[in-house]
Amino acid sequence: MGEGLRDSTRSKLRKAFSMSSSRSSSPFQQPSKSPSPSPIGWVDPPLTKLELTGYKTATKQRLLDLGLAEDLRLHLPLRLQITHNWKLCYSLEQNGSSLSTLYSSSLPDRSETGKKIGYLLVVYDQNHDKFGCYLNEHLRPMDRRAYYGNGECFLWKVEKGRIPSLTEDLTNSSSSSLPVQFRLKVFPYTSLNDFIIYSNHSFISIGSGNGKFGLWIDENLVKGASSTVDTFGNEPLSREEQFQVMGLEIWKII
């Protein structure tokens, strides 16, 4: 990124944080309590294999595969782990780079009214890295400076690396010859502040504090930023603090 682009993005980030720095006036929702452990000797039945629906035949950029989805599934609230159909409700490739379209596509339909739906946001950047967040509410433009979301929300990223196996002979092989391994890292809510979700017509932010955002995406769905924040105690999700959005999807989990 050129200096002009970086300065422009920094300016937008400072403006965004100043707009979203006040606390929500509504009571903060604490996460629901974990269910009681299973009786001794009881083994939970295996989860039904996931089905990912919503990709069009012509769609080339498919950010979520079954392997990553199954790994993320284990970190969802228990009520959503048992569901097996995840629906793609927004795709940058299929729906275009419009924040208003993203908001409208994420709305629950009439048949989903009253249900506790989950939403998975997946970002793909210029470094070919994937990261995102899980949200307990749909993204929407707020008319006032108010945060929403509860402690079920989390940030996540996929780390890539070349990891030798226990039987690997490292004396005769270079690191470049080792197979690439993928590891999911999840950053749950810390309870240190309630700056979980804030979104308006200019940006989306997940987690914030001290002028930084856990995940921030601009109104054009082109630029983003990620830093360590108290909300999730996370590592930066992207390799660089500022990144370019090359792909973005939102999945609805019912």
Burial class (CB in 10 A: 0-12, 13-18, 19+), 60: exposed
Predicted confidence at residue 145, as pLDDT, reads 86
Residue 172 belongs to some domain of the structure: no
Q: Read off the DSSP letter of residue 63.
A: -
- 6 is written with which tokens? 């970086």
Quote the longest CA-to-CA distance of the chain.
Answer: 62
- Per-residue pLDDT of the chain (254 residues), as tens digits, is 555 556 666 666 766 766 655 444 333 444 444 455 556 666 677 889 999 999 999 999 999 999 999 999 999 999 999 999 999 999 999 999 999 999 999 999 998 988 999 999 999 999 999 999 999 999 999 988 899 999 999 999 999 876 665 555 555 555 566 777 899 999 999 999 999 999 999 999 999 999 999 999 999 999 999 999 999 999 999 999 999 999 999 999 99
CA angle 177, 159, 97 (to 5 degrees): 120
Residue 27 belongs to some domain of the structure: no
How many residues in total does the chain contain?
A: 254
**φ/ψ (deg, to 5) at 3:** -60, -35
Condensed to tens digits (0 to 9), the pLDDT of residues 154-213 reads 999 999 876 665 555 555 555 566 777 899 999 999 999 999 999 999 999 999 999 999
Residue 34 belongs to some domain of the structure: no
Q: How many domains does the chain have?
A: 1
Burial class (CB in 10 A: 0-12, 13-18, 19+), 176: exposed
Reduced to 3 states, what is the DSSP secondary structure of residue 18?
A: helix
Q: Are strands 85-91 and 118-125 parallel, antiparallel or unpaired?
A: unpaired
Q: Are 228 and 237 in contact (CB under 8 A)?
A: no
Residue 195 belongs to some domain of the structure: yes
Predicted confidence at residue 36, as pLDDT, reads 54
The H or E element that residue 118 is part of is strand 118-125
Residue 220 belongs to some domain of the structure: yes
Predicted confidence at residue 31, as pLDDT, reads 46
- 111 is written with which tokens? 């048949």
Residue 101 belongs to some domain of the structure: yes
Which amino acid, one-letter code, is at 186? V
Predicted confidence at residue 225, as pLDDT, reads 99
Q: Measured in whole angstroms, how far is the alpha carbon of residue 44 from the centre of its chain? A: 27
Q: Are 145 and 23 in contact (CB under 8 A)?
A: no
Predicted confidence at residue 161, as pLDDT, reads 78
Residue 41 belongs to some domain of the structure: no
Predicted confidence at residue 18, as pLDDT, reads 62
- Please write down the long-range contacts of 5-12, taking CB distance under 8 Å and 24 or more positions apart: 5/223, 6/242, 9/218, 9/223, 9/225, 9/242, 10/242, 12/203, 12/218, 12/223
Q: Are 211 and 17 in contact (CB under 8 A)?
A: yes
Residue 23 belongs to some domain of the structure: no
| Residue-range definition of the domain harbouring residue 214 | 3-18+59-164+178-253
